[in-house]
Structure 1
Amino acid sequence: MHVMVVHNRYASAQPSGENKVVDQEVELLRAAGHRVDRFERRSDDIGALSLPRKAALPLLVPWNPAVRTELAARLRAERPDVVHVHNVFPLLSPAVLAGCADAGVPVVATLHNYGQVCPPGTLQRDGRPCSACVGGSALPAVRHGCYRGSRLATVPLALSLSVNRRRWWTGVERFLCISAAQREVLVRSGMPAERLAVKHNFVPEPGVRREGPGEHVLYLGRLAEAKGVRLLMTAWDALTAAGGVGVPLVIAGSGPLEPEVTAWAAGRPDVRVVGLYDTARSREAVARSVAVVAPSTWMEAFGLVVVEAMAAGVPAVAAGHGAFTELVEDGVTGLLHRPGDAESLADRLRLVASDPDRNDELGRAARLRYERGFSPAVGLERLLEAYRSASAGRTGGGRVPPAVTDGRAGRGGASAAGRDGGSR
């Protein structure tokens, strides 16, 4: 197939699971012999804009007419079979949908977060779950300044959500939800259920797997409140006071809480803050882990780090809500803790580190789950299935059922990204 990928890349200074997913899908398609072109903008380029252009940027978040014209011209010249849209904030805008319509090319869109129903995309406010804008007006987000704690910064996102809602719903042939839990929220919000499919992200073979019991507990990701970093620090303090778990905590990543985390870890032999790892070092760190911890306080739409742990044969300790409940089978492929509960998190970490034989069983089961549900072969099959269904929908050739998934999320029809894949 010939695919045009549309994506606004997040800033390179912070981890972005979404950028990683986009790049991996492009590589997967090309390796299988498909032609993939890119239509991209980079948030890194904002810093080089003139002051007048920076001042005008919020006005273009809801609609950027120049992008519509440019994309339509590219599509008419190159004639791809399908356009795959990922992130359009802040430099592309939903005008990309009009560009696709102008050129008559069907659209598939991956929803990496909850941006279709929540301006910041997190379904969280003040560290707690929030659904005030789901299925209704985005005014609550403006009132509370949900994006970056600023009412002014939230206005363009809220306006874009409000004025472009129907354009998204009618201009996209197939939405790809990255979990059944995410799909359930979006269906309840009023999005067209027949256009919402579940397609979990895949993870490439890491090239390295765990050998032996592991050397550390690993947190790998953005150092932000919504990711549960403060909750993890509280839980680790409790474990340390009770004698520890026998291995150190390694924290790899960057983000707004980095100074606080670094100060907390200073002088402690049981904690190492190592900064932002590249892909190779991340894979090595995962493979040397007793467990990978994902204590997010917001309901993650997916949870890439959990599947990366599975690929390396390492169990995860994750919050028992959102997508984690369909990725981790509690007590079989990993452990789930009560969301937002530091005592429960400490108990799960203690349990996963205390029994090496049981830990090894969890790791082997996690690897098997990866092979069956999240491998490149599975990812390619589901991606092409979505593209074909989008083309069939545009030509009237039929449609596939709404859940394109691995079976365990068969409940995806009716049950349970700042955005960084998403966190902004």
Structure 2
Amino acid sequence: MKLLVAHNHYRQSGGEDEVFLRESELLRSAGHEVLEYKEHNSGISEDGIPSKVQLAARTLWAADSVGRLRSLLRRERPDLAHFHNTFPLISPAAYYACQQEGVPVVQSLHNSRLICPAATLYRNGSACEDCLGKTVPWPGVVHACYHNSRLQTAVVAGMLAGHRVLGTWQEQVDAYIVFTEFFRRKFIDAGLPREKIFVKPHFLGTDPGMKQEMGSYALFLGRFALQKGIPTLLKAWRSLGHVPLRIAGAGPMEQDVRRFSQTHQSIHMMPYLSQKECFDLIKGARFLIWPSGVETFGLVAIESFACGTPVIASRSNAMEIVEDKRTGLHFASDDFEDLAAKVEWAWTHPREMAAMGKAARAEYEANYTAKRNYHLLMDIYSKARTTAQEAA
């Protein structure tokens, strides 16, 4: 097949960007012709009122991107278009261009933006679903959930409400991809067509192999941000000075993490790491800590599984990836005392954690390899093409 994959890159590269690259390479390695359409947020200028007005308009309907995309569609005639992130420079207007050119549309839902203007389902340190099911997600505007700005949140809310009224989400997309059953249910509750939402987890393009040693430290690997559970992690370590913790990542709370590590000798912050270095770090850990509240998926969890390292995860419905007491341990969301207790148990029961690590590796081999993921993706593409043909 000739496939168009489209993605709006973020200023700071993250999991969505990595999945876009992995899936594109997976498709190429299977012999498909892959065309890429990309925008990048590094080109956004918010200096002055005209630039802000222009960005707001593009968020709703990015006419310039649609024009470039339409030219690409007419020139190349792809069999299907797969969108990853469209916010804010591609916009949902891209779906209309595809449908008008007879190209089926698949949209991966990497975050909860269609439900929540902030795309996090998280506010003031806890889970939030105030905007779920609302045509106009006004609670997000009231609370200034996006970038702590009522004006910027209103722009996102306007985009969501406008396209709900237009029927964009129901009619212009032939298939949605989500990564857990939890989020499939959430998007159904939000009004997306049940029959168009398919679950396909993430995968690893390269198998790092099973680790050979028990591990000598606990590990956090991810973004330093409130919704990633950083406050819970740091509070837990106030009573865990005897357990070495390595922290690798970057983000808005980096200075908070650095200050905390300077007064707690058991914590060691790591510099920027290559992917190979990340895998080596995971293999050297006794267990990985994944304290996030609500996430559409946790790529770091399956990376840990692939290395045979068990995961201590926040007990939210989105954490269905980690099976309690089999591939890791659960702790109560946002409860630093429960996290500390689970870390203490894990540190003092190395044999049990090693057994969980073996089970985690088996889980990776059964569900998160490139081969299995490719077959799931092809099945979704086939269903999207059938839906588009039936609607024509």
TM range (shorter): over 0.9
Displacement of 1:275 in angstroms is: 3.6
Spell out the pairing of 1:54-203 with structure 2 (5 A cutoff). 56-136=54-134, 137-165=136-164, 166-203=167-204
Deviations 1:242-295 (A, max 9, x none): xx23xx111101111001110110153310111432322211111111111010
Residues 1:378 and 2:359 are matched in the alignment:
no
Spell out the pairing of 1:3-402 with structure 2 (5 A cutoff). 3-11=3-11, 14-46=12-44, 52-53=50-51, 56-136=54-134, 137-165=136-164, 166-240=167-241, 244-245=242-243, 248-297=244-293, 299-324=294-319, 326-396=320-390
Letter in structure 2 aligned against 1:73: S
TM-score by length of 1: 0.88
Displacement of 1:322 in angstroms is: 3.0
> Conserved in 2, the CA contact under 8 Å of 1:72 and 1:102?
no
> Conserved in 1, the CA contact under 8 Å of 2:46 and 2:52?
no
Which region of structure 1 is more displaced relative to structure 2, 261-270 or 199-208? 199-208
**Structure 2 residue matching 1:272: 3-state secondary structure:** strand
Deviations 1:134-167 (A, max 9, x none): 1012111111100011101111111111011221
Aligned equivalents of 1:194, 1:296: Cα separation in 2: 29
Count the aligned residue pairs: 388
**Structure 1 residue matching 2:117: 3-state secondary structure:** coil
Seq. identity, %: 35
> Conserved in 1, the CA contact under 8 Å of 2:174 and 2:196?
yes
Displacement of 1:169 in angstroms is: 1.7
Letter in structure 2 aligned against 1:151: R
Letter in structure 2 aligned against 1:7: H
Change in 2 beyond 3 A, CA 1:229/1:105: same
Aligned equivalents of 1:265, 1:153: Cα separation in 2: 34
Q: Which runs of 5+ in 1 are unaligned?
A: 398-424
> Conserved in 2, the CA contact under 8 Å of 1:205 and 1:311?
no
Displacement of 1:396 in angstroms is: 2.5
Aligned equivalents of 2:45, 2:251: Cα separation in 1: 18
Aligned equivalents of 1:210, 1:379: Cα separation in 2: 23
Aligned equivalents of 1:269, 1:139: Cα separation in 2: 45
**Structure 2 residue matching 1:220: 3-state secondary structure:** strand
Q: Which runs of 5+ in 2 are unaligned?
A: none
- CA-atom RMSD, angstroms? 1.7
Aligned equivalents of 1:232, 1:204: Cα separation in 2: 29
Aligned equivalents of 1:212, 1:153: Cα separation in 2: 49
Aligned equivalents of 1:308, 1:279: Cα separation in 2: 10
Aligned equivalents of 2:225, 2:317: Cα separation in 1: 18
Displacement of 1:206 in angstroms is: 3.7
**Structure 2 residue matching 1:61: 3-state secondary structure:** helix
> Conserved in 1, the CA contact under 8 Å of 2:79 and 2:103?
yes
> Conserved in 1, the CA contact under 8 Å of 2:210 and 2:361?
no
Runs in 1 of length 4+ with deviation above 3 angstroms? 47-55
Letter in structure 2 aligned against 1:356: P
> Conserved in 2, the CA contact under 8 Å of 1:316 and 1:328?
yes
Deviations 1:191-243 (A, max 9, x none): 11011111111123343432211122111111000000010000011222xxx
Displacement of 1:49 in angstroms is: 8.7
> Conserved in 2, the CA contact under 8 Å of 1:208 and 1:283?
no
Letter in structure 1 aligned against 2:68: E
**Structure 2 residue matching 1:201: 3-state secondary structure:** coil
Displacement of 1:358 in angstroms is: 1.0
Letter in structure 2 aligned against 1:39: Y
**Structure 2 residue matching 1:44: 3-state secondary structure:** helix
Relative contact order, CA 8 A, sep 6+: which one is greater?
1
**Structure 2 residue matching 1:36: 3-state secondary structure:** strand
Deviations 1:9-54 (A, max 9, x none): 111xx35100001100011111111111111101122259998445
Change in 2 beyond 3 A, CA 1:51/1:281: farther
> Conserved in 1, the CA contact under 8 Å of 2:59 and 2:156?
yes
Aligned equivalents of 2:31, 2:101: Cα separation in 1: 25
> Conserved in 2, the CA contact under 8 Å of 1:15 and 1:254?
no
Which region of structure 1 is more displaced relative to structure 2, 360-369 or 42-51? 42-51
Change in 2 beyond 3 A, CA 1:15/1:220: farther
Displacement of 1:80 in angstroms is: 0.9
**Structure 2 residue matching 1:221: 3-state secondary structure:** strand
